[in-house]
Amino acid sequence: MRQDEDMISDVVAITQELIQIDTSNYGDSPETVGEAEAADYCAQRLREAGWDPEIIVTSSDHRRAVALRIPGTDPSASGLLVHGHLDVVPAVADEWTKPAFGGVIDDGFIWGRGAVDMKDMDAMILSVVRDWGRTGYRPRRDIVILLLPDEEAGSVHGSHWLAEHRPDLFAGVTQAIGEVGGFSITIKDDLRLYPIQTAEKGMKWLRLRAAARAGHGSMIHEDNSVTQLARAVTRIGEHQWPIHKTSTVQRFLDELSQAFGIDVSDVESQELHRRLGNLSYLVGATMQNTANPTVLRAGYKTNVIPTLATAEIDCRFLPGQEEELDATIRLLVGDGIDVDVINYGIAVEAPLDTQLFEIMASALRAEDEKARAVPYMISGGTDAKAFAGLEIECYGFSPLQMPAGLDYWRLFHGVDECVPIEGLEFGVRVLDRFLRAC
């Protein structure tokens, strides 16, 4: 298959230029402004190749998405959604050895915030679609492109807004690909695993509220909201959740066992940590529900016992295990403490044995004869939650070949985030092959 040199050079330049647009997401703060500039940039790059994208203002003028539907040649075929987010988590400049928003090329890498999360994939999408525009290529099925704001702060102003207010964008779409999948893990000289995300845990952020009688800090005071809340938080933080292996996780464990020639069911083993790096922690987190206390608030003066104490808990639940999470939290909290949900996202699990998965695997093998695609689950969340709610089968497939020994997960939200140029060029070739084969 022809691979246009312009597409390959495009992906490097566009990755750099997107990184140079500071799209730091500070939530609803007025500082969150860069997504609009990035959306305008992406739309202009598409127009240069003959496309007519739509810029969608979501909740405010600073929150913008880019949408483009590429008509397929087979009107009976369902549509495929290809999505990426334009926002990034903030970066503290003094912690970086290279400019966080410089898009600098050094030692074969492009450096900067968003290099792997996920302006590299945005650049791959733009590069492929620009190539199609220049050459007049049309895919078999409709391809819907969405470049989104606000993923890093819960997607309220991005994918969830579009799912609610613009259902027309998703007409006929049955499947989707997005971030956090298709990266390589070198196992040995003749084998690289490429985990493809087929599932992600659900999210339920909770606020606990303990209320009691205020009083003087010097007095005996048995009715203390801080003490009551602290007991509940400790019980939650120390709880040992039971193990549940979904079909995705079981398949991933089986693939790892076969690849390493060892039993990886013991996710605490040092050997697994050594071989998988931070991915081993991810495996453990996808075999059980989790509930981590993250925020405590109470009081305003040392000698005043406060009326109110609050805590926030980051809960993640496996597909099919939300009821267990709710019942256990209520039992651990006990009486006298209110529990409110402050953020929620469904658990996602797509089918494993599908033609789409095999097309991903085939595209990887065509560019890397050592590639073996395997399904896996992530413990975090992506924009897939919004689209899965529309009954779209969602997969994480942002192909990227990583140098052996480079810890892919360390780069996410990390200092000195970077992406290998050769891996990026590999990724755009794989993405082009995949989309043409769909």
pLDDT band at 213 (very low <50, low <70, confident <90, very high): confident
* Cα distances (angstroms) measured from residue 45 to each of 41, 372, 390, 427: 6, 34, 29, 19
Spatial separation of the C-alpha atoms in residues 315 and 371, rounded to whole Å: 34
Shared-domain flag, residues 335 and 389: no
- The CA–CA distances, whole Å, from 398 to 41, 176, 184, 363, 374 equal 21, 12, 11, 12, 14
376 is written with which tokens?
């896996």
pLDDT value, residue 259: 87
- Answer yes or no: do 123 and 228 share one domain: no
Domain boundary among 287, 302, 318: 287
pLDDT-derived band at 418, boundaries 50, 70, 90: very high
Residues belonging to the chain: 438
Q: Please report, for the domain that includes residue 369, its CATH number.
A: 3.40.630.10
- Domains contained in the chain, number: 3
Q: Are residues 12 and 100 both part of a single domain?
A: yes
260 and 341 share one domain: no
Domain extent for 260: 245-287
**Is the same domain home to 19 and 130?**
yes
Its pTM stands at 0.92
User: Average pLDDT of 113-137?
Assistant: 97
Biggest distance spanned by C-alpha atoms of the chain = 80
pLDDT-derived band at 291 (thresholds 50, 70, 90) equals very high
Out of 287, 305, 321, a domain closes at 287
380: pLDDT strictly greater than 50:
yes
**Each residue of 38-55: pLDDT tens digit?**
999 999 999 999 999 999
Spell 295-328 as b/e; 16+ CB within 10 A means b.
Answer: eeebbeeeeebbeebbbbbebbbbbebbebbbeb
Residues 239-281 pLDDT 10s:
999 999 999 999 998 998 888 887 766 655 566 666 666 667 6
Quote the pLDDT of residue 218. 85
Residues 133 and 224 occupy one common structural domain: no
**The last residue of a domain, from among 345, 379, 414:** 345
CATH number at residue 308: 3.30.70.360
| 166 and 87 together in one domain | yes
Residue 275 has a pLDDT of 66
Return phi, psi of residue 198, to 5°.
Answer: -115, -5
Confidence of residue 215 (pLDDT cuts 50, 70, 90): confident
122 and 135 belong to one structural domain: yes
User: Which residue is associated with the tokens 């009976």?
Assistant: 76
Q: Take residue 45 and report the two structure tokens written for it.
A: 């790059």
- Tell me: do 227 and 275 sit in the same domain: no
Residues 58 and 172 in one domain: yes
- 54 and 133 share one domain: yes
Residue 410 banded pLDDT, cuts 50, 70, 90:
confident
Domain shared by 49 and 173, yes or no: yes
Tell me what the pLDDT averaged over the chain comes to: 93
